[in-house]
């Protein structure tokens, strides 16, 4: 069980551990989460196992998550420099101030300074746009991020929770103007959330963005804690995140995960995480851990080597159905290939039959 098999994030030289420690649960300010003491224990164990990728945000527990990380590693330059600390902007922490959130230049620069202070560091390794701000031109956002990179306050930039077309627009603008482009894409991705495979995943693959999935266990629905038998006895701590996912379809999936887990002498959560890690474009999966024991359990996913049959079986159980234009893609080889095989794809010709000639 080790996290020291590092991967470069997308089309960048930034080396990150295969699992990223998500710290949304650091601090008990929202009525649930890890105490300051246990948050520190989780950080220490993650680092001890070789993990170097830590994800937070200015909005997590009203900034307390960032402060916990800063208090724990900020005083130790050697420890801090070894880590890849990622945080996010977009959240507004100042009631009544419209410019304290979103992706405008004023907001981004102020949020960065505040995060640097809480994290007790001179620079942020990866600065994420947390979610799309429809009121700010993307040129303004990318220019502000480039200023932070040139000032040495940010090393790399990434994007989360934003439509594929907007991410593509942002990166094309950045590339044409010689600015820093997004190197990472943070999206919700799990066996129960695969709509991202329609546009976001192919876009990330094409542009070389490393995918870092969040909620790979669908808020805990695939943790193995919730089963048909326990449905009436165990209520989710974060009801708003889990309850809607607990239905017959999910329980049927959990039944299958239990069988695969038994074959691998593992757990439901580890198998679900291993499936996410095996998906195209995924660099580092974000795992949340409210308790130290959860971290220990989730890291074991790296020891699970799913077979091609395992992956195909799980893929078939939750394969999404997409609308237009993806719904037309199965017909394209017949239209394009003229009955030949192209990159291993062959289909009977749809327009011209053997012996026929076009007009």
Residues with catalytic annotation? 60
Query: Cα dihedral angle (132, 136, 139, 142), rounded to 10 degrees?
Result: -50
Q: What share of the chain is helix, strand, coil (3-state, %, to 5)?
A: 45, 15, 40
For residue 161, CA distances in Å to 43, 62, 117 come to 25, 19, 25
The answer to whether residues 346 and 337 touch, using CB atoms and an 8 Å cutoff, is yes
- The torsion angles phi and psi of 235, rounded to 5 degrees, stand at -100, 135
For residue 248, CA distances in Å to 73, 91, 236, 315, 321 come to 44, 35, 16, 18, 19
Among residues 210, 134, 139, 211, the alpha carbon closest in space to that of 170 is found at: 139
Other CB atoms within a 10 A radius of the CB of residue 305 amount to 10
Give, to the nearest 10 degrees, the angle between helix 36-48 and helix 64-73. 60
């Amino acid at each position: 069980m080790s996290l020291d098999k590092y991967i470069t994030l997308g089309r960048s030289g930034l080396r990150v551990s295969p699992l990223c420690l998500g710290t949304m649960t650091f601090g008990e300010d929202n009525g649930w989460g890890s105490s300051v003491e246990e948050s520190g224990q989780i950080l220490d164990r993650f680092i001890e196992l070789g993990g170097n990728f830590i994800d937070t945000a200015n909005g997590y527990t009203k900034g307390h998550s960032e402060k916990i990380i800063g208090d724990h590693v900020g005083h130790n330059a050697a420890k801090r420099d070894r880590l890849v600390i990622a945080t996010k902007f977009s959240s507004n922490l100042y009631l009544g101030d419209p410019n304290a959130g979103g992706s405008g230049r004023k907001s981004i620069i102020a949020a960065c300074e505040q995060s640097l202070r809480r994290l007790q560091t001179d620079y942020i390794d990866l600065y994420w746009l947390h979610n799309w701000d429809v009121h700010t031109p993307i040129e303004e956002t990318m220019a502000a991020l480039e200023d932070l990179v040139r000032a040495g306050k940010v090393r790399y930039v990434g994007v989360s929770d934003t439509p594929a077309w907007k991410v593509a627009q942002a990166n094309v603008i950045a590339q044409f103007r010689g600015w820093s482009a997004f190197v990472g894409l943070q999206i919700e991705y799990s066996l129960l959330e695969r709509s991202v495979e329609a546009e976001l995943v192919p876009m990330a693959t094409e542009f070389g963005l490393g995918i870092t999935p969040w909620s790979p266990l669908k808020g805990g629905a695939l943790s193995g804690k919730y089963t048909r038998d326990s449905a009436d006895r165990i209520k989710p701590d974060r009801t708003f995140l889990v309850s809607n996912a607990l239905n017959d379809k999910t329980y049927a999936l959990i039944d299958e995960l239990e069988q695969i887990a038994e074959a691998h002498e593992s757990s439901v959560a580890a198998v679900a995480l291993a499936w996410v890690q095996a998906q195209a474009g995924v660099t580092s999966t974000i795992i949340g851990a409210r308790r130290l024991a959860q971290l220990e359990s989730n890291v074991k996913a790296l020891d699970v080597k799913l077979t091609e049959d395992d992956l195909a079986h799980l893929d078939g159980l939750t394969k999404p159905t997409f609308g237009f234009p993806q719904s037309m893609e199965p017909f394209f080889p017949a239209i394009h290939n003229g009955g030949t095989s192209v990159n291993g794809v062959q289909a009977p010709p749809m327009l011209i039959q053997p012996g026929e000639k076009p007009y």
